[in-house]
A and B are shown apart, each in its own frame.
Chain A
Amino acid sequence: MLFNSISFAIFLPIVFLLYWFGTKGNLRLQNILLLGSSYFFYACWDWRFLFLLIFSTFLDYSTGIKIYEATNKSKKKFWLWLSISINLGFLGVFKYYNFFAESFADGLYLLGLNANMGTLNVILPVGISFYTFHGLSYVIDLYNDKIKPERNVVDYSVFVSFFPLLVAGPIERATHLLPQIINKREFNYLKAVDGLRQILWGIFKKIVIADNCAEYANAIFNNTSDYTGSTLALGALFFSLQIYGDFSGYSDIALGTARLFGINLLRNFAFPYFSRDIAEFWRRWHISLSTWFRDYLYIPLGGSKVGTGKKIRNVFIIFLVSGFWHGANWTFIAWGFLNALYILPSIIFKTNRNNLDIAAQGKMFPTIKEFFSIALTFGLTVFAWIFFRATSLSHAFEYISKMFTKTLFSVPYIIEPITNLHILPVKFILLLVVFVLIEWIGRERQFAIEVLGFKWNRSIRWGFYILLIVFIFYTGNFNENTFIYFQF
Chain B
Amino acid sequence: MHMKAFIKNLSILFFILFLIFFSVNYFQSFYNSSPEHYKLQYEEIIKKKEKVNSIIIGTSHATHSIRPSILDEQGLNFYNFSINGASPGFYTNWFNELFLKEYPIPEYCIFSVDWFMFDDEWLWRHFEQDAEYLPFSVYSTMFFNSQFNKKDLIDNRFPFLKYRKQLTESLKLVRGDSKFIMKEYDKGFVPIKTEDKYRLFERTESQYNFKIKENQVDLFDKLVNRLKSLKVKMIFVMTPEYNIDINEYKGMRSIEIINNISKKNNIPFLNYNTTLRTDLNENIEYFDDWGHMNAVGSLKFSTLLKDEIYKITHNEILNE
Contacts and interface: CB of A to CB of B under 8 A. Distances in A.
**A and B bound?**
yes
Contact of A465 (B6, B13, B151): B13
Nearest to B16: A466
Contact of B6 (A193, A473, A480): A193
Interface stretch (A68-76, A184-192, A238-246, A428-436): A184-192
Contacts of B3: 20, 187, 189
B2 interface: yes
A456 interface: no
Interface residues of A, number: 17
Interface residues of B, number: 18
Contacts of B164: 473-474, 478
B154 interface: yes
Interface in A210-228: none
A13 B313 CA distance: 62
B167 interface: yes
A470 interface: yes
Interface string A447-488: 000000000000000100110011001100010100000000
Given A6-B151, A470-B20, A473-B164, A462 B13 contact: yes
Interface in B106-150: 150
B2 A474 contact: no
A295 B206 CA distance: 55
Contacts of A462: 13, 16
Contacts of B2: 187-189
A473 B5 CA distance: 26
A469 B167 contact: no
A187 B6 CA distance: 10
B17 interface: yes
B6 A6 contact: no
Given A6-B151, A6-B154, A474-B164, A466 B20 contact: yes
A466 B154 contact: no
Interface string B13-24: 100110011000
Contacts of A193: 6, 9
Nearest to B160: A473
Contacts of B155: 478
A477 B272 CA distance: 43
A473 B2 CA distance: 29
Contacts of A188: 2
Given A473-B164, A474-B167, A480-B151, A189 B16 contact: no
Interface in A1-49: 6, 20
A51 B167 CA distance: 47
A259 B164 CA distance: 31
A466 B164 CA distance: 16
A187 B2 CA distance: 8
A188 B1 CA distance: 10
Interface in B11-35: 13, 16-17, 20-21
Interface in A156-208: 187-189, 192-193, 196
B316 to A, nearest CB: 44
A469 B17 CA distance: 9
A189 B5 contact: yes
A189 B3 CA distance: 7
Contacts of B20: 466, 470
B280 to A, nearest CB: 29
A466 B12 CA distance: 11
B289 to A, nearest CB: 14
A6 B143 CA distance: 14
Nearest to A186: B2
Contacts of A20: 3
Contacts of A469: 17
B251 to A, nearest CB: 27
Taking each of B150, B151, B167, which has the highest tally of chain A beta carbons within 10 Å of its own beta carbon? B151
Contacts of A478: 155, 164
A474 B151 CA distance: 17
Contact of A189 (B6, B13, B150): B6
A462 B6 CA distance: 14
A130 B149 CA distance: 31
Interface of A: 6, 20, 187-189, 192-193, 196, 462, 465-466, 469-470, 473-474, 478, 480
14 contacts: A6-B151, A6-B154, A187-B3, A188-B2, A189-B3, A189-B5, A192-B6, A193-B9, A466-B13, A466-B17, A469-B17, A473-B164, A474-B167, A478-B164
Given A465-B13, A478-B155, 16 more contacts: A6-B150, A187-B3, A187-B6, A188-B2, A189-B2, A189-B3, A193-B6, A193-B9, A462-B13, A466-B13, A466-B20, A469-B17, A470-B20, A474-B164, A474-B167, A480-B151
List the 9 shortest-distance A-B pairs measured between CB atoms, nearest first.
Answer: A189-B2, A187-B3, A189-B6, A192-B6, A474-B167, A466-B16, A187-B2, A474-B164, A189-B5
